[in-house]
């Protein structure tokens, strides 16, 4: 069974940084693209970024391009999202997604 | 690109309903790898359909994916009260951008 467990969420001031992590298990990790998807309070889903199985390609949504960086460590079956220059509109639940499975999410709140 | 879904739909128990997913750039094709996700209140989303019509092992047989009239479609045949949820589609553009639709709130009543 696939497990994806996010961590690293919390409260941060506008302009600050936060690093999210996702621990993956139950599948051959380096065979799969992985992604981060977020959901603002009371809003729909928004694709944030994804990364190829070998880490050789990354893509970002326009709202986060230049501020967020997705990375993975295939030796540790982990996925990260480095978030810089955070804005209030970045607030929401961030989900780790891969192998057609979703984690439970981690909450990010950007507020002064 | 903007992906459009019906904001809300209602289906009777045991009935059939199709949710659609359109694109502002033109017809949705298999090359857009449309996917469908279900989200119930307070829960994480789960994948129902990927790459147009493929199902993970947990997707009930009453759900099916297709292309219909230039849109991606999710058809629910034999609706159950437990199917009441928000449904989102996802479309891949050019291999480097992915866009979710705004979601459809499905009521089983």
Tens-place pLDDT, residues B26-59: 999 999 999 999 999 999 999 999 999 999 999 9
Cβ pair B47:A101 closer than 8 A: yes
Q: Give pLDDT, residue B57.
A: 96
Chain A CA closest to residue B57:
A100
Partner-chain residue, chosen from B45, B95, B101, that has the shortest CB–CB distance to A102: B45
Q: Among residues of chain B, what percentage have pLDDT more than 90?
A: 97
Q: Give pLDDT, residue B96.
A: 80
Tell how strand A101-102 and strand A92-98 pair up. Answer: antiparallel
Distance between CA atoms of B78 and A75, rounded to whole angstroms?
Answer: 45
For residue B77, the cross-strand partners are B16
Q: Which of A1, A44, A50, A96 to mutate to test binding with chain B, by most B CBs within 10 Å of its CB?
A: A44
Cβ pair A100:B98 closer than 8 A: no
Cβ pair A44:B103 closer than 8 A: yes
* For residues B7-22, average pLDDT: 98
Give the gyration radius of chain A's Cα atoms.
Answer: 13
Q: Give pLDDT, residue A98.
A: 97
Tens-place pLDDT, residues B68-83: 999 999 999 999 999 9
Tens-place pLDDT, residues B77-104: 999 999 999 999 999 998 689 999 999 9
Partner-chain residue, chosen from B47, B95, B99, that has the shortest CB–CB distance to A47: B99
Which residues, 6+ apart, have CB-to-CB distance to A91 below 8 Å? A40, A41, A108, A109, A110, A111
Q: Give pLDDT, residue B95.
A: 67
Q: Which of A36, A100, A102 to mutate to test binding with chain B, by most B CBs within 10 Å of its CB?
A: A100
Assign A72 a pLDDT band (cuts: 50, 70, 90). Answer: very high
Tens-place pLDDT, residues A13-52: 999 999 999 999 999 999 999 999 999 999 999 999 999 9
């Amino acid at each position: 069974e696939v497990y994806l467990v996010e961590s690293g969420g919390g409260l941060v001031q506008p302009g600050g940084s936060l690093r999210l992590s996702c621990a993956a298990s139950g599948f051959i990790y380096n065979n799969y693209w992985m992604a981060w998807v977020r959901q603002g309070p009371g809003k729909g889903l928004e694709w944030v970024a994804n990364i190829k199985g070998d880490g050789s390609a990354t893509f970002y949504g326009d709202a986060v391009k230049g501020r967020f960086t997705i990375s993975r460590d295939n030796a540790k079956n982990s996925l990260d999202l480095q978030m810089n220059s955070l804005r209030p509109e970045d607030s929401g639940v961030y989900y780790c997604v891969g192998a057609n499975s979703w984690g439970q999410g981690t909450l990010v709140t950007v507020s002064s | 690109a903007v992906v459009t879904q019906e904001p809300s739909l209602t289906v009777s128990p045991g009935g059939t309903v199709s949710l659609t997913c359109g694109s502002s750039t033109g017809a949705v094709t298999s090359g857009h790898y449309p996917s469908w996700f279900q989200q119930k209140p307070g829960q994480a989303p789960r994948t129902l359909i990927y790459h147009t019509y493929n199902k993970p092992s947990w997707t009930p047989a009453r759900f099916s994916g297709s292309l219909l009239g230039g849109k991606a479609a999710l058809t629910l045949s034999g609706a159950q009260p437990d199917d009441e949820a928000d449904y989102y589609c996802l479309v891949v553009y050019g291999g480097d951008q992915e866009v979710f639709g705004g979601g459809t709130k499905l009521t089983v009543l």
